[in-house]
């Protein structure tokens, strides 16, 4: 049973690796950091797969791990202090296929963090509202309210820009 769950988890991760990278990239905005977040997520998931009680929850369980790892990586980078301004830093490589640079995405990133997460998971990752509620550990009605409030805010902002 446990070996079957491990194999199912591994197959799911391999099958959806691009989605996980895209999700991590949407948080950390950097290729290397996104790859690190996904790699850490895979390691944690494979190490702790036995704690998964419901094998039908692999999707939401793993999305939650990716989000937590991405946020942890961002928090760790905030604490990082650069040693010397005279050092020459490499310009990070940005992968064009995964960059999302449009006005709508920029507007989404200006919303509250919870609302951003909900909109990204709903429309970019195509998760259902129930799955989003499980991933973010929120009440379903809270997810719905934040989603619709965020969409209304986006509609107003985009309407204002088009009027200009």
Q: List, for residues 3-22, the tens digit of each pLDDT value.
A: 888 899 999 999 999 999 99
In the prediction, which pLDDT does 133 show?
93
Calculate ∠ Cα 104-151-61, nearest 5°: 90
Both tokens of 39, joined, read 């790699």
Its CATH class, for the domain covering 101-164, is: mainly alpha
Q: The pTM is what?
A: 0.74
What stretches in the chain show pLDDT beneath 70? 1, 80-102, 163-164
In the prediction, which pLDDT does 19 show?
93
Q: How far apart are CA 115 and CA 108, in angstroms?
A: 8
Which residue spans of the chain are classified as CATH 1.10.10.10?
A: 101-164
**Hey, what long-range contacts does 90-95 have (CB within 8 A, 24 or more apart)?**
92/30, 92/31, 92/32, 93/31, 93/32, 94/30, 94/31, 95/25, 95/31
In the prediction, which pLDDT does 105 show?
82
In the prediction, which pLDDT does 94 show?
52
CATH code that applies to domain 1-77: 1.10.1740.10
């Amino acid at each position: 049973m446990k070996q079957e769950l491990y194999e199912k988890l591994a197959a799911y991760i391999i099958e959806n690796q691009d989605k996980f990278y895209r999700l991590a990239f949407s948080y950390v905005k950097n290729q290397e950091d996104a790859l690190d977040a996904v790699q850490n997520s895979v390691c944690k998931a494979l190490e702790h797969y036995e704690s998964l009680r419901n094998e039908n929850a692999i999707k939401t369980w793993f999305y939650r791990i990716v989000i937590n790892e991405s946020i942890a990586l961002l928090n760790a980078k905030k604490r990082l202090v650069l040693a010397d301004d005279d050092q020459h830093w490499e310009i990070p490589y940005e992968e064009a296929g995964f960059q999302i640079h449009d006005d709508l995405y920029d507007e989404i990133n200006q919303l509250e963090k919870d609302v951003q997460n909900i909109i990204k998971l709903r429309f970019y990752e195509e998760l259902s509202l129930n799955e989003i509620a499980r991933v973010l550990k929120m009440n379903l009605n809270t997810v719905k309210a934040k989603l619709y409030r965020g969409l209304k805010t986006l509609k107003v902002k985009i309407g204002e820009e088009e009027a200009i």
